[in-house]
Structure 1
Amino acid sequence: MKTICLFFCLLLATYTSIKAQDSTAMLCATPPMGWNSWNLFEEKVSDSLLHEIADAMVTNGMKDAGYKYIIIDDLWTGGRDNKNRLIADPVRFPNGMKAVADYVHSKGLKLGIYSDAAPLTCGGVTGSYGFEELDAKTFASWGIDYLKYDYCNAPEDVTTAFARYKKMGDALKATGRPIVYAICEWGQRKPWLWASAAGGQLWRTTWDLRDTWQSNNKNLTGIMEVFDQQEGLTQYAGPGSWNDPDLLMVGLYGKGSSSNAGTNGKGCTPAEYKSHFALWCMLAAPLIVNSDLRHLSAETLQLLTNKDLIAVNQDSLGKQAETIYKKEDIQVLKKELANGDVAICILNRSNSPKSGLLSLQKDLDIWKPFTAAKEVFQNKTVKKTDKLSYQLEAHACTVYRMMR
């Protein structure tokens, strides 16, 4: 019976996925960009902190670069009131969540919130199971624009997961408010096959990402482990439907108890953060930052607001990059763009520097003529060329935009 139910669930998802994608294409038409509270602040998230983060996103130029969501993660709730409505922690949110939303909206930004498809969240506070319709209405009444919906403390089978996620997805739609729905079940049940049919605009594809380049530990997910798990998922990405390889570690530098659990505690190098950000842009992944926006270094801010990389990520065609070359620790990704341009990322996975020259035709099997190639980190444009050069330190990458 379980096998039959699983087959029916996946069949239903396949049958309705195109219709579901069409109906959500205007909501989250490009990968969402914003900030999340979890790794740095956890239970310390508060209205005053969110005000400061929203202010920083505006003043440091991130809003102008395309970032717009301020997302509250777990441990914000104070339980339910006598009418079973969720309430925010009264100490950290003394004026309630609608006041937070109003402030964020006054800055021209959007507010996201978190819940779980079980009685308790991952952090052990009140979840939404059994109260989906009420909670969706509550979120809408507060002015919430984005829901991250987790799956801790819930049954493992895909049939139940689909049913629980769809119930919340339907409840969100019924409110009439456009709320981006981020399905967070960590990729165990292959959500790329059914999450769109459940109402989601994005879905996690892996366990939580850690602030390390490569863990070499099956119980941890470094940037390379998560990146490799995106292979084969290209066909499931597109406007209104995004594979989500988790939050950006850029700029954490070892801060944040969750992102550093089990790692060396030092975080990544500047070159690794640059590659991390570039790869997520190539993958058409959500760009959700974890670092403290109030205290970003000039180098981190410059990376996070790189207009050429963001343009690749936010391209309206919505293509996820695919690997077209992999040899001797050099990996090359190609991402087609809406205007006919092509983005090429050359990644050095080695622990030592690498340099070389790649032929577009012979090495990369790209035969389309281009008038110029722009290297986006150095902001240099090379006239018509049929070869791409690279000189990369360990774990670094270079990104070219090939222009028609």
Structure 2
Amino acid sequence: MTFQLLKLRKSLLFIAAFLLASLNTTATKRDSLALTPPMGFMTWNKYKEDINEQLIRQIADKMAADGYAEAGYKYIFIDDGWQGGRDKRNNILPDPKKFPSGMKALADYVHSKGLLLGIYSDAAHLTCAGYTASYKFEEQDAKTFAQWGIDYLKYDYCHAPSDSAVAHKRYKKMADALQKSGRKIALGVCEWGQLNPELWARQAGGSLWRVSYDVRDMWKDIVKQGGMGIIDIIDITEPLYKYAGPGHWLDMDMLVVGLDGKGGPSSDLGGVGCTYSEYQTQMSMWCMFASPLAMSHDILNENEATRHILLNKEIIAINQDALGEAAHRIDFPGACRIYLRQLSGNRQALAIINPSNTPQPVQLPLSIIGNAKEYSFRDVWEHKTTRQHKAWQGTLQPHETKVFTITTQ
């Protein structure tokens, strides 16, 4: 009897180990679809459902001609509102009035500009905005997306059960369908962080997963109706930093940089707009945490201040660093916060945030970085390099963030 129990126990352990190895192999394979955080433009915050093929072509032209593609913004993410139902064979269709040429022709055009095309669906019968979704049509829709030439799927979770096991199952079913589709399509898990996707989303096949409810165009949530401000999402993300890595990213939602309180959904629930110091802080910390960067402003009519933030190649280089580590917070007294991120090439990135409403002086001992006698501090926003020996000191304005790349001299 004892021998039989031991034999059964060994068999169960072997099966468990095999299944775990299989899951890890699948996760590792899908990791290769997004070895650095995806960057691009997402339609929702500015345009909501008012999208069409002419608009997407204009955005593609703008991104290719105006430096965005060169800076790393390779995706155009078409969000909710593109759907036109299903045909008699249940193939999902684009809205014929919005996309009269079809998605394949649009994807070909986007690809001709050196860009990639993302699309949207939901793990239920209907999307958040009430359009046709993909639940129980996963394989069929995945094949359709592949035939169109889609490169990325944002997969939402509206109208779906609030259970993490069910969510894991539904996302895995779509990830498996995408893997069988014959095309490499990255999967964005848009579950809003409420069911702890950091514990299962990678194993379910996600290349990234949302950590919070939708971002609004504001510094901080003060109306308490479900909208998230910039500093709120920073606070939610930091404890999760160990879950980020090449191919599996913490998605902090869209950049609201440049929306100026004039966006669509981002202007709801207290989204009255931000200062450009606050927008620069969003860009800084989304890069420090290795979040995907999805612009959502009026890219066809933008100002220079917005371009200055979004096209800063030095902060983007931190976001896209091959090591793929996310920043973590360092204990430090005072009103300001300190975040440190390890970079490739034995370098570090340091961010200092002033979350308060008044200017704050900072004297930062370099012992928190290491024990070298001298460091080179590269201010990625001022584009200036200085040598620091014992401490960095300066004054930060309200809601301002300083970011440095640091090397040992």
How far the C-alpha of 1:217 sits from its partner, in A, is: 3.7
User: For 1:143, which of 146, 149, 155 is the aligned residue?
Assistant: 149
User: For 1:199, which of 196, 199, 205 is the aligned residue?
Assistant: 205
Q: Residue deviations 1:160-188, cap 9 Å, x none?
A: 11111100000000012111100001101
Contact 1:238–1:319 (8 Å) recurs in 2: yes
> In the alignment, does 2:262 pair up with 1:258?
no
> In the alignment, does 2:400 pair up with 1:393?
no
Work out the CA distance in 2 between the residues paired with 1:206 and 1:143. Answer: 29
In the alignment, residue 383 of structure 1 is paired with which amino acid?
R
> Which residue of structure 1 lines up, in the alignment, with residue 237 of structure 2?
230
How far the C-alpha of 1:384 sits from its partner, in A, is: 4.6
> In the alignment, does 2:383 pair up with 1:376?
no
Work out the CA distance in 1 between the residues paired with 2:104 and 2:47. Answer: 21
Work out the CA distance in 1 between the residues paired with 2:138 and 2:269. Answer: 35
> Which residue of structure 2 lines up, in the alignment, with residue 126 of structure 1?
132
Query: Which residues of 2 match residues 32-43 of structure 1 at below 5 A?
Result: 32-43=38-49
> Which residue of structure 2 lines up, in the alignment, with residue 290 of structure 1?
296
State the secondary structure of the residue aligned to 1:288. Answer: strand
User: CA, structure 1 residues 217+16, in 2 after alignment: closer, same or farther (shift >3 Å)?
Assistant: farther
Q: Residue deviations 1:234-288, cap 9 Å, x none?
A: 11100000011111111101112210112153x0001000011000000000011
How far the C-alpha of 1:232 sits from its partner, in A, is: 1.8
Work out the CA distance in 1 between the residues paired with 2:67 and 2:18. Answer: 43
Q: Residue deviations 1:70-97, cap 9 Å, x none?
A: 0000011000011111111111100111
How far the C-alpha of 1:42 sits from its partner, in A, is: 1.2
Contact 1:13–1:194 (8 Å) recurs in 2: no
In the alignment, residue 252 of structure 2 is paired with which amino acid?
P
User: CA, structure 1 residues 102+274, in 2 after alignment: closer, same or farther (shift >3 Å)?
Assistant: same
> Which residue of structure 2 lines up, in the alignment, with residue 179 of structure 1?
185
Work out the CA distance in 2 between the residues paired with 1:13 and 1:321. Answer: 32
Contact 1:13–1:193 (8 Å) recurs in 2: no
User: CA, structure 1 residues 272+386, in 2 after alignment: closer, same or farther (shift >3 Å)?
Assistant: same
Looking at CA atoms only, which structure, 1 or 2, has the larger radius of gyration?
2
In the alignment, residue 227 of structure 2 is paired with which amino acid?
L
User: For 2:106, which of 84, 100, 107 is the aligned residue?
Assistant: 100
User: For 1:344, which of 344, 350, 354 is the aligned residue?
Assistant: 350
User: For 1:24, which of 30, 45, 52 is the aligned residue?
Assistant: 30
Work out the CA distance in 2 between the residues paired with 1:115 and 1:369. Answer: 53
User: For 1:115, which of 99, 112, 121 is the aligned residue?
Assistant: 121
How far the C-alpha of 1:220 sits from its partner, in A, is: 2.3
> Which residue of structure 1 lines up, in the alignment, with residue 53 of structure 2?
47
Contact 2:27–2:204 (8 Å) recurs in 1: no
Work out the CA distance in 2 between the residues paired with 1:299 and 1:97. Answer: 34
Count residues in correspondence. 392
In the alignment, residue 64 of structure 2 is paired with which amino acid?
V
Contact 1:251–1:300 (8 Å) recurs in 2: yes
Higher helix share: 2
Contact 1:14–1:194 (8 Å) recurs in 2: no
State the secondary structure of the residue aligned to 1:272. Answer: helix
Work out the CA distance in 1 between the residues paired with 2:26 and 2:372. Answer: 34
> Which residue of structure 2 lines up, in the alignment, with residue 213 of structure 1?
219
Contact 1:112–1:145 (8 Å) recurs in 2: yes
TM-score by length of 2: 0.92
Work out the CA distance in 1 between the residues paired with 2:79 and 2:40. Answer: 13
Work out the CA distance in 2 between the residues paired with 1:346 and 1:281. Answer: 13
Work out the CA distance in 1 between the residues paired with 2:228 and 2:65. Answer: 33
How far the C-alpha of 1:296 sits from its partner, in A, is: 1.6
In the alignment, residue 243 of structure 1 is paired with which amino acid?
L
In the alignment, residue 323 of structure 1 is paired with which amino acid?
R
Contact 1:181–1:202 (8 Å) recurs in 2: yes
In the alignment, residue 387 of structure 1 is paired with which amino acid?
A
State the secondary structure of the residue aligned to 1:43. Answer: coil
State the secondary structure of the residue aligned to 2:393. Answer: strand
TM-score by length of 1: 0.94
Q: Where in structure 1 are there 5+ consecutive unaligned residues?
A: 1-10
Contact 2:377–2:404 (8 Å) recurs in 1: yes
User: CA, structure 1 residues 242+384, in 2 after alignment: closer, same or farther (shift >3 Å)?
Assistant: same
Contact 1:20–1:196 (8 Å) recurs in 2: no
Work out the CA distance in 1 between the residues paired with 2:220 and 2:211. Answer: 17
Contact 2:362–2:396 (8 Å) recurs in 1: no
State the secondary structure of the residue aligned to 1:327. Answer: coil
Work out the CA distance in 2 between the residues paired with 1:39 and 1:159. Answer: 30
Work out the CA distance in 2 between the residues paired with 1:386 and 1:395. Answer: 26
State the secondary structure of the residue aligned to 2:306. Answer: helix
State the secondary structure of the residue aligned to 1:25. Answer: helix
State the secondary structure of the residue aligned to 2:266. Answer: coil
- After TM superposition, the structure 1 stretch with the greater mean CA deviation from structure 2, 18-27 or 53-62, is 18-27
In the alignment, residue 311 of structure 2 is paired with which amino acid?
T
User: CA, structure 1 residues 217+326, in 2 after alignment: closer, same or farther (shift >3 Å)?
Assistant: farther
User: What's the RMSD between the two structures over aligned residues?
Assistant: 1.8
Identity of aligned residues (%): 46
Work out the CA distance in 2 between the residues paired with 1:260 and 1:13. Answer: 45
